[in-house]
Chain A
């Protein structure tokens, strides 16, 4: 149910912003020496890959 929302222009800005908010949370974890820091960092990277996939609207020809 989340992915269709990402296509809406009302949520798109929040989506890109959320990636950096997640990194700020990771930094907070580093400063607090929290055990959840590395899992959140991995989730943030996966989230950035999801955003990359959402942005891949134009196919790149493989015969260039």
Chain B
């Protein structure tokens, strides 16, 4: 059974969207630990967050600009940059005998180990997707001119990622103050009120609302899809 060009494009867009949602999940976990539990990120953790943001840039460009090998390349390079920071942190804690590791363990692994796994999966996934070269000859120019659920979902997830980036950037300032970012920052105690689920709901609904709003504001051009059919 041969897949039509439109279906093939939809499949690759869905893969990129799911990857982006997965990265959002990882960032949600780290921000949850920082803001709700009070575990402040170390300098290496901030470098790994930077790698996560870079990893997200590839799928975002694929969805908004269209599928290009260069976009996957950006994610692979970001995975290497972030992976270097997580490898450094893993080795630091292995090299010190009796070191319990930094921060709490989640499902048996510390967050920097999870970060390394995420970067490895991200790089391998992008390399695997590059094997399917047909996605680059579909004339894809992104979802921005195509009204519908895919554009709403994409805009919602992209806006959500951008808000996380701004939160991460802003929270660097109070943590590091006017001095060097501390290697082992003290816990702030976090927010005790049960705002976790509520905050998540606000983010989900807020992002969807922005996605729907932008979907109505942006122009619609179905000609591109029609030529693919």
Contact = CB atoms under 8 A, between A and B. Distances in A.
A13 B177 contact: yes
Contacts, number: 102
Contact of A19 (B50, B60, B88, B178): B50
Task: Bin chain A's interface residue count.
Answer: 20 to 34
Contacts of B51: 48
Interface string A40-64: 0110111011011001101011001
A28 to B, nearest CB: 10
A38 B78 CA distance: 12
Given A16-B172, A17-B172, A42-B74, A52 B181 contact: no
A24 B168 CA distance: 11
Interface in B9-55: 43-44, 46-47, 50-51, 53-54
Interface string A3-47: 000000110110011011101101100100100011001101110
Interface of A: 9-10, 12-13, 16-17, 19-21, 23-24, 26-27, 30, 33, 37-38, 41-42, 44-46, 48-49, 51-52, 55-56, 58, 60-61, 64
Contact of B178 (A9, A23, A48, A61): A9
